[in-house]
Amino acid sequence: MTIITQTTPIQPPGISPRLWISDFDGTVKPLNGPVSREDILAVQELGRLGAVRAVATGRSIKTFLRDWDPLFEIDYLISSSGLAISRFGPEGHAALLSSHQFTPSQAEAAVAVARSAGMGFFLALPPPETHLTFWQKPPSGTVPSCFEARILHSGGDTSPWDGDGGRTLAQVLVMGAPPQVRVAESRFRSETPDLSLVVSSSPYGDGALWLEIYPAGVSKGIAAATLAASLGIPAQDAVALGNDYNDEDLLAWAGTAFVSSDAPETLKILYPGMPPAGQGPLANVAGRLVPDFGSR
């Protein structure tokens, strides 16, 4: 793992909250559309005021860049649910600051559970190569639509898994109907207790769940805490925006947190709401937290 050292914001923080971290898909970016103009203008104004802006997403660096609008200015990217932290700039990815990978024994154990679960799985390399090259093994029965969609939309070099255990890996992904995924989650928690598990709703809107298995210490919340510490910003001075299960520890970590109006009920009872993706959620929250925001 690479550790962040001496990371500083682009300009001195001039407002509070000083650190703004938002999930991407389903929080600011709707399923079939771009980030709203209101949110683009809001994130630009936050930057002018001196706030540090970050996105924490389940996407890899590569797949985030595919749908990122450079006008949606950010200073840092937490990718693959906390697997990596990168510096970002006007041209996109600027530097990889922190990343994780499995040890050989961890990778072997995770692949063994995925194979025995019979649901099919994907295997990915450590950042920044995550999703540039990856391997897949389809389930033994009916192939869920999200499995095929994952291959179709990856934009990377995908190959059938050949059983080669010598590769350095950083992510195992299984997906399927919620009951199947919850059973697989229980197995991973029991048989690989030292690994990190992230459950999220399928980004393809098909009702499936995704279960991502990572090296220990990988989550959006842990990555956010690592980034904030390197910037000298306490959690109390951070705001987080999310919409799904994989945002839970990020939302819990931040001093202030909001969830989309279409988030799961278990999140909506814990955090104040905001408009859904595409309808200016970031602008809405900034207007509520920053005095005179948008009137400058």
Clarify whether residues 75 and 122 are in a common domain: no
Confirm whether 8 is domain-assigned.
Answer: no
The most confident of 52-56, 141-145, 146-150, 242-246, by mean pLDDT: 52-56
pLDDT at 206: 80
Q: Residue 189 and residue 76: Cα distance in Å, rounded?
A: 31
Residue 129: give its domain's CATH number: 3.30.1240.10
Least confident of 28-32, 175-179, 249-253, 273-277: 175-179
Confirm whether 3 is domain-assigned.
Answer: no
Clarify whether residues 156 and 127 are in a common domain: yes
Confidence of residue 15 (pLDDT cuts 50, 70, 90): confident
pLDDT at 79: 94
Residue 282: give its domain's CATH number: 3.40.50.1000
CA angle 277, 278, 282 (to 5 degrees): 65
CA 99 centroid distance within chain: 13
Clarify whether residues 38 and 179 are in a common domain: no
pLDDT tens for each residue of 20-61: 999 999 999 998 899 999 999 999 999 999 999 999 999 888
pLDDT at 133: 67
| pLDDT reading at 154 higher than 80 | no
- At 260, list the tokens: 């989309």
Q: Residue 210 and residue 202: Cα distance in Å, rounded?
A: 6
pLDDT at 175: 86
Instruction: Please tell me the total count of domains within the chain.
Output: 2
Concatenate the DSSP letters of all residues of 87-149 into one string. Answer: EEETTEEEEEEEE----HHHHHHHHHHHHHHTS-EEEEPSTTSTTTEEEEE--SSPPPHHHHH
pLDDT tens for each residue of 188-241: 999 999 999 988 888 787 888 889 999 999 999 999 999 999 999 999 999 999
Domain with 182 in it? 104-214
Are 181 and 175 in contact, with CB atoms under 8 Å apart? Answer: yes
Clarify whether residues 210 and 248 are in a common domain: no
pLDDT at 97: 94
Mean pLDDT of 237-246: 95
3-state secondary structure of 250: helix
Mean pLDDT of 146-150: 81
Clarify whether residues 173 and 200 are in a common domain: yes
Residue 186, Cβ density class (10 Å: 0-12 exposed, 13-18 middle, ≥19 buried): exposed
Q: Which of 190, 214, 238 is the last residue of a domain?
A: 214
Residue 21, Cβ density class (10 Å: 0-12 exposed, 13-18 middle, ≥19 buried): buried
Clarify whether residues 115 and 193 are in a common domain: yes
269 versus 10: the higher-pLDDT residue is 269
